[in-house]
Chain A
Amino acid sequence: MPTIYYLILSFALFLIGTTGVLLRRNALIVLMAIELQLNGGNLALIAFSRQLGDLKGHVFAFLIIALAAAEAAVGLAILVGLFRGRQTVNLDEITLMKR
């Protein structure tokens, strides 16, 4: 398949992730939506990598996968700590830094 199809799919994936981040108020689902966004970026990198015949895109995708693992670990740890203190994962109720 031409690269353009993969690019459009990757943008769609990123858009779905953005929609999840903006509209969902459950912090867990928001973290999953962020993973979707990172995967959209990865797909674009790998599609361009094949288009250009250059493996550097694969290396960057590899680094992004490691980054996503770190992000998920820290994000979920924050979520657990937050839930211990406040008994909620609703992002609209976490307004400590708004005042």
Chain B
Amino acid sequence: MTTTVDPAVRAAGAATRVLRVTRTPRGAGGDGGGGDLARQHGRRGRSDGFEVPAGSARTTVLDALTWARTHLDPTLDVRHACYHASCGTCGVRTDGRAVLACVTRLADLPEGDITVEPLRNQALISDLVVDIEALYEGFDAVGMPLVRESRTVPGSRPAPGVEGLTRFEDCIECGLCVSVCPIEASDAAYEGPAVLAAAWRVVEEPRHADPERAFALVDGDQGAWRCHLATECTEVCPSGALPAEGIMHLRRGLLRHRFRVAFARLRVGANGAGEPGGTP
């Protein structure tokens, strides 16, 4: 395994760390470019070593990866946007753990080389970049509004003319929960913790979305009943969105919903199959 170094950094004698980054092969006839919906099995390529400055106590895995891209290998692909755990684009696995690279500090990782791999259970586009489109298809079907009306700062009141206080949903759509879910690992058709938790949010606080649609989506074989309650999803969530708890609530909501539907049918039946004036 080769390690790329910057001679100037070596010469300066500053502390360094080595990242061992999983790469996808180039020019091997892969689909790439966003069209590859095959799961990542079999597309794992080599691992490249990059020696990067250890930086300060604040230096993150994302800082190190983008430094390596700028100074050592411009072909390294890594996804990022906000740099503060709000956009959810920079999920990777460092030393096997699913994390957001932008809030994972080098200084907090054990000494020695740091392995950096793409998230699991999502189609791979390139190097550390997984495809978000499958996740977005699920979110799109659920239709969770982005802005919620609960969880505002306690003790505060809306300013004059502001109808009600709002804030963005906790889920940042990063896919870390999808990466650690044991059921996702065995079955790509499972709707998964992120989409199921979003469905619960629609039921809990519909705003103008349709809870009936959310219930219908998650009541099938690949929906809420498939979950084994392993709760890895909640443990790994960087944003406090509690997907496992959401799925539990969703199951209880589904049972209540089924009961209501059955009860409504019974009542209709008792009234003569709902036919107007249907009494014999």
Decide whether A and B assemble into one complex. no
